[in-house]
Chains A and B, each alone.
Chain A
Amino acid sequence: MNPQMPQKMSLPGIKNVIAVASGKGGVGKSTVAANLAMALHMTGKTVGLMDADIYGPSVPIMFGLGTVNPQTTPFPMEKYGIKLMSMGFMVGPEQAVIWRGPKVAQAVQAFLGQINWGELDYLIIDLPPGTGDAQLTLSQSAPLTGAVIVTTPGEVSLIDARKGVKMFREVRVPILGIVENMSYFEDATGTKTPIFGVGGGMKLALESNVPFLGELPIDPRVAACGDQGEPIVRKFPDSGVAKSYVALAATVAEAASAPQSDALPQVEL
């Protein structure tokens, strides 16, 4: 058996596996993934969050956790009721993971298949940017329910998000929809200022013929909450952003519950 070839795994206890992806880095994938997971959990669902960004994990800091001793700590970790797994639990922030692709694929598979996630309604997977090893491994070996693509409104982000859409199409992972992050800044008077352009998410959704899941406003508290280890959905549930996330969670849950195409038939040899 070729060690680089992902084994198909089934995750019987997990009802929905949702990948949060983007083509470009820095559009807020991890923030969206963390708050989406939190918002789904707040609707009474059991949720796990897997950080597939092996080189630049951000789940630990966003949930106020650090490195632990993997020899003595049972994974997944748990915080605010969400089951968490990340490379950042094993490698300190001052260390770098300097790995070639096949090792990344192995780590992603181990996170998915060798960790006892238990019974989950949703497993959210925070993907690294791009269309490379981690994405391919997941598409080949995980029973993905679908993918949510995050973009910012500007064209530079759209160029890469389009590639993400293309990749999921190619490997036939259903695209649940496009989320536009950092859509506008709303000041105290309620005036909305678009900082990074207007309408990119909707444009991509229309041209790719996938649902537009919504806009998420810019709020300095989002970043502050991430840095302080408590997602804004939990810390400021009455904020506009938190409400947008709750709405997003409802839309994603609905999209994920739509009937999925069956698994490919087995071959009679």
Chain B
Amino acid sequence: MAAELRPVSLKKEGDGLMIEWNDGASTFATWRKLRASCPCAACTEDRGKPPDPFRILTPEEIAAGAPLPVAMQPIGHYAYKITWNDGHDTGIYPIERLRQLGEEHQ
């Protein structure tokens, strides 16, 4: 079997996440993009709805400001979970998804 795609290192860099991969590539994704792509069931459902022009931000969202991770931990052998500064922590990002979300970085 071909070697599985794996992150070698994951680092916060500027306003995003820099990942170095075992195939030699490096990708970068902003926290904003990662937060907006949260794969949890609630966020996925929200993204499927038309935008609500009257949406009211929760006090947590206002206090949090720009999305930043509070913690990011490995889940099993296949994913990472990000806990965000707005309190949201149900998103589990599979490794392949993290690769797709990142932009190739030279």
Contacts and interface: CB of A to CB of B under 8 A. Distances in A.
Interface residues of B, number: 27
Please report whether the interface of chain B is mostly helix, strand, loop or mixed according to DSSP. Answer: strand
A71 interface: no
A78 B71 CA distance: 40
A6 B81 CA distance: 11
Contacts of A172: 4, 76-78, 95
B90 A265 contact: no
B41 to A, nearest CB: 11
A263 B1 CA distance: 19
B78 A269 contact: no
B77 A264 contact: yes
Given A5-B81, A172-B78, A209-B1, A267 B90 contact: no
A140 interface: yes
B3 to A, nearest CB: 9
Contacts of B12: 267-269
Nearest to A260: B77
Nearest to A264: B74
Nearest to A139: B76
Interface string B68-81: 01011111111111
Nearest to A136: B76
Interface of B: 1, 4, 6-12, 17, 69, 71-81, 89-90, 92, 94-95
Given A8-B75, A141-B75, A171-B79, 12 more contacts: A2-B90, A139-B76, A142-B76, A144-B76, A170-B78, A173-B77, A264-B6, A264-B77, A264-B95, A266-B73, A267-B73, A269-B72
17 contacts: A1-B89, A5-B89, A5-B90, A6-B75, A139-B77, A140-B79, A171-B79, A172-B4, A173-B76, A263-B77, A264-B77, A264-B80, A265-B8, A265-B9, A265-B10, A266-B74, A269-B71
Interface of A: 1-2, 4-6, 8, 139-142, 144, 170-173, 209, 261, 263-269
